[in-house]
Chains A and B, each alone.
Chain A
Amino acid sequence: MKELLFNLPDGRTLFIREPAIQKMLGYQQSNENDCEAGGILIGRILIENNHFIIDEVSEPYPTDTRKRHRFIRSQKGHQEYFNALWEEYEGRCFYLGEWHTHPEKVPLPSTVDRRGWRENLSLLYETDSLFFIIVGTEKIKVWYGKCGTGEIACMEGGWENERKTSKKTI
């Protein structure tokens, strides 16, 4: 099962459920002409312990700009998607951050990415943390951002593509 679990610096955890991971993996830039993709992260803040769970992600809309090395996510589409889930779950879901793809094995955030994350963290949300996921061709990496202070930290672990090992054995 593809699930991801990360420990936050404050003792809480981030858990990413399989359906969300599968959706993002569907946009890996494995081929030379695949464009960047992205969307928003939607999930729960648990009543019992305040831990985070990402249940859903949005996928690219035609209103987004998709290039080999750039992804511009418009508000349109993603906002409607979020609102619909929010209604369905009677408010029991939160906007928890952003994801996008990179055409590199082990992804590292670009200057544009970091600037965007910092700007996002300065906005006002009901959650005290946001997460930023980059899907590489061999690895998924997750960064944790603190709202207000704008602190960003890379989280240990992440998912590794099984293809890497299978290629070696061939």
Chain B
Amino acid sequence: MVLCQTQFISFHEAIKLKEENEELASKREIILKRLRDCMPEEAKSFDVFTQGSYAMNTGIKPLDGDFDIDVGLWFDMSREDAGPVEAKEWVFKALEGHTKDVKMKTPCVTVTYAAGYHVDVTVYSATNENCKVYLAKGKTTSKREEKYWDESNPKDLIKEIRDHLTDKDDRRQFRRVVRYLKRWKDVNFKSATGKPSGIALTSCVYHWLDIQKDIDLFNGKVTYRDLDALISLIRSMISRFQTVYEVEGGELVSYPRINVELPVSPWPNLFELMTNKQMVTFKEKLECLLDALEEAKAKSDPTDACEILRKQFGDDFPVPPRPMTGKRSVAPAVLPSTESA
């Protein structure tokens, strides 16, 4: 039975998106300057805030190097002051021509840079009589019912995830497990559609992680067991799938489905948009992950265990050469001669 905690920690260091990432910060500054300089006159005043997973301390490095930068614009206005697409058009106008590829998407305006990264700019109505915050949804070409202000408060979400769990070391295990699972997703879901979102996985960990640690009774030293934390979490996720029935070609077909709530108002189900078939794949991949985690744990040699884990988590998961998992002796033993019969 091994835990490979050292290797999990190295893996975490390798995939973690550090907040002080200068490259990303400078890229953000470029687009913010453009927004401030080119925002059309009719636009309301706005504040900028950092959002996305790196604001929540759960960001990971992208596998393809295509960094995703999230910028939130906090407009000082109510939902009645402007339509959602109208507000997004201000942003689109400010950014149009900044690169060859600026697109209005349903939840944001996306600017793609040739250098291989993109910035998603989201628009919020932040001053409402009910104190709620709304995200602008829809595109210029969308139907009327697809243009709406959607209740969503990213600042509350960031705070909720960032401050989750009071013990700071427990919180670190929480963040590590989120990052492991997100990298697992990037490695195992190759097609663009059908993968669970990062925030959906983050919410699963938020709701269902059972912190796994040992406390030494003599010296109080705490040792975290990330492999056990993953095993119990994935087991819990698999157990939460429920069977739903659909009529297909006159026959009743059953599918497994799982729901998970966003941890803040209005607590939407973050797996809502996944199709039944995508759910089947998701569940199979989770079962495959659980098998691998349990198989790794049953190994006696950490190197063998890490080889199994690497298949699930990708090449950033280290496989130590066998001798490196052993203690160092001070001097070579002096052998006796021996007699056997």
Q: Which of B300, B330, B331 contacts A13 (CB 8 A)?
A: B300
Interface centre among B2, B4, B300, B338 (most CB of A within 10 A): B338
Q: Which residues of A contact B3 (CB under 8 A)?
A: 48-49
Asked if A40 meets B326 with Cβ closer than 8 Å, knowing A15-B300, A100-B340, A113-B341, the reply is: no
Identify the stretch in A73-81, A136-144, A155-163 within 8 Å (CB) of chain B at 4 or more residues: A73-81
Which residues of the partner chain B approach A93 to less than 8 Å between Cβ atoms? 323, 326, 329
CB distance from B133 to the nearest CB of A (A): 47
Task: Compute how far the CA of A38 lies from the CA of B325 in the bound complex, rounded to whole angstroms.
Answer: 27
Which of B326, B335, B340, B341 is in CB contact (< 8 Å) with A47?
Answer: B326
- B328 an interface residue at 8 Å Cβ cutoff? yes
Bound CA span A78–B85, Å: 80
Residue among B1, B2, B326 having the largest count of chain A Cβ atoms under 10 Å: B326
CB pair B341–A69 under 8 Å, yes or no, is yes
- Chain A nearest Cβ from B302, distance in angstroms: 6
Instruction: For chain A, give the interface size range.
Output: 35 or more
* Interface status of B5 (Cβ within 8 A of chain A): yes
Task: Tell me if B's interface is mostly helix, strand, loop or mixed.
Answer: loop
Q: How far is the CA of A109 from the CA of B280 in the complex (A)?
A: 57
CB distance from B6 to the nearest CB of A (A): 7
**A: which residues have CB within 8 A of B?**
3, 5, 13, 15, 17, 36, 38, 40, 43-49, 51, 53, 55, 69-75, 78-79, 82-83, 86, 89-95, 98, 100, 110-113, 116, 119-120, 123, 125-126
Please report which residues of chain B, range 286-341, place their CB below 8 angstroms from some CB of chain A when the two chains form the complex. 300-302, 322-341
Minimum distance in angstroms from A29 CB to a CB of chain B = 12
Contact B325 A48 (CB under 8 A): yes
Decide: A82 and B333 in contact? CB cutoff 8 A.
yes
- A13-B300, A48-B3, A48-B5 known; A92 vs B323 contact (CB < 8 Å): yes
Q: Which residues of chain B are within 8 angstroms of A95 by Cβ–Cβ distance?
A: 332-333, 335
- Check if A94 sits within 8 Å of B302, measured CB to CB: no
B300 touches A72 (CB 8 A): no
- B333 and A94 contacting across the interface, CB-CB below 8 Å: yes
